Amino acid sequence: PRAHSYTKYNTWSEIESWISSIASSNPSLISKQVIGQTYEGRSMHLLKLGKSSGSAKPAVFIDCGIHAREWISPAFCQWYVKEALEKYGSDSEMTNLLNTMDVYVLPVFNVDGYVYSHTTDRMWRKTRSRLSGTSCRGTDPNRNFDAGWCTIGASSNPCSETFCGKTPESEIEAKNVADFIRSNKSTIKAYITVHSYSQLLLFPYSYSYGLAADHSELMSVAKGASSALTSLYGTRYTYGPGASTIYPAAGGSDDWAYDLGVKYSYTFELRDTGYYGFLLPESQIKPTCEETMLAVNYITSYVLKNL
């Protein structure tokens, strides 16, 4: 069988065995937990990075793979874990971060969809839930959160790629993540959700054109993060509130986390701008992940400084 590689789009079974081995590789720095099952009964594995300490530490939550076809996203979460463990002890920023904070990483949010995009339909986006009254499958998990749910930029047609679901958190995957964040909301200071493609760094709101209370701060952090990203290979990002920067879209995880009180809430749209789109070649995994590390590190060190 194929081996796991950080510069390959790994299958779910490769990722699942990687999760087990990486979690047991360094028990003082990383641990794993299951936050629930997917619709088709797969486990949602959450990794927890950080120097183990008796008391609850402030935390960052990063998820990848909300949308099945966006394969560069789970590749980044795997890359982030590798870099964090590698750099701990040598890089002062990462060492300070993991000594003071915990970083939760959900390598693949929409596991059923990810598997389906590997086996059956490369362009699949949604979950794989069955819906009553139609043969169409799946809900868009990024329209299924309880944030302006189904008001704009989402569809109530189950056959739509942006179907918002029967109710908020109808998708077990979304409910598992929302439950985890709700039960840890006193410690979670930042939420970062990774998608592709378009090269954007977005923040609330997408469910309204109204500006977030923390708009100017979120904007300045986004500016710094995207400049850090650009500094490596010149990759250019656009940044701003979701509604005006990409399109209005209600029910998103970022808007939901922000309204729950997680101030630093960001959505990344990674490479590229459409030449390859979702079919980004594996040769671009390393450069994409390295430049994105700079942006994520910028955000986490800003959060650390402002605890």
Ligand X SMILES: NCCCCC[C@@H](C[SeH])C(=O)O
> Is 63 a binder of ligand X (CB under 6 A)?
no
Find the binding residues for ligand X in span 213-242 (CB under 6 A). 242
Minimum separation from the CB atom of position 150 to ligand X (A): 13
Nearer to Zn ion, 169 or 269 (CB): 269
Rounded-to-integer distance, Cα 23 and Cα 16, Å: 11
In the shown chain, the binding pattern of residues 121 to 160 toward ligand X, with x for contact by CB under 6 A and - for none, equals ---------------------x------------------
Residues 46 and 31: beta-carbon distance below 8 Å: no
> Is 69 a binder of ligand X (CB under 6 A)?
no
**Mind telling me the catalytic residues?**
269
Rounded-to-integer distance, Cα 228 and Cα 59, Å: 22
**Which of 137, 195, 263, 271 is in the footprint of ligand X by CB under 6 A?**
195
Number of chain residues interacting with ligand X (CB under 6 A):
13
**Which of 110, 206, 208, 265 is in the footprint of ligand X by CB under 6 A?**
206
Find the binding residues for ligand X in span 241-280 (CB under 6 A). 242, 246, 249, 252, 254-255, 267, 269
Rounded-to-integer distance, Cα 259 and Cα 149, Å: 13
Give the strands of the sheet with 200-203, arranged side by side. Answer: 30-37, 43-49, 102-106, 59-64, 188-196, 264-270, 200-203, 238-241
Ramachandran region, residue 128 (left: φ > 0; alpha: ψ -120 to 50; beta: rest): alpha
Give the interface with ligand X as residue ranges (CB under 6 A). Answer: 67, 142, 195, 202, 206, 242, 246, 249, 252, 254-255, 267, 269
